[in-house]
Amino acid sequence: MALRLEKRNLERDDTAQGFVLDGFPRTVAQASALDTIMAERDPLIVIDIVVPEAELVRRLGTRLICNECGTNAPIAVSAETPCAKCGGRLVQRADDNQSVVLERLKVYHRMSEPLVEHYRMRPTFRSIDGAQVPDRVAKDLVAAIEAARNGAVRHGAHG
């Protein structure tokens, strides 16, 4: 079902110049199916944004959302600050406590490591350090995409 939706979405005119998939594919089987969908398009560029587990636990453990409208609060805001969107109270998400985060990371590693290995040897695969400040991550992401595009052109890569 999810793959049919992705295929339909990727066939829309607004994806002709490129698109970003975040959280898909999640399995090697989905990646293989995506490769088939992408066979007639420009090469698939895969970026692995790597953040140490301790940093992910810290970030998620300090993430706040508005209990009224659900908006994510800016990173450096305290729980005493009202929501900038609606004035509601900022709270920690129930699924952002340490034990839940650690369990989510176990599942992520179990599912994602084979997926990363599926893509790692392609000339269009890149890995960047996601533990940097957001502006640096954004710059590295742009540079990684450009380098992967250039690698695809040199290698004639597809999918």
The domains located in the chain, with CATH, are: 20-155 (3.40.50.300)
- Over residues 138-159, the pLDDT tens digits come to 999 999 999 998 876 665 555 5
The encoded tokens of residue 86 equal 């609606």
* pTM of the complete model: 0.78
Mean pLDDT of all residues in 114-136: 94
* String of DSSP letters for 91-107: EE-GGGSHHHHHHHHHH
- Over residues 29-51, the pLDDT tens digits come to 999 989 988 888 888 999 999 99
- Over residues 6-23, the pLDDT tens digits come to 778 778 888 888 888 888
CB-count exposure of residue 25 (10 Å: 0-12, 13-18, 19+): buried
| CA–CA distances in Å: residue 49 to residues 87, 138, 155 | 33, 11, 23
Q: How far is CA 92 from the centre of its chain?
A: 21
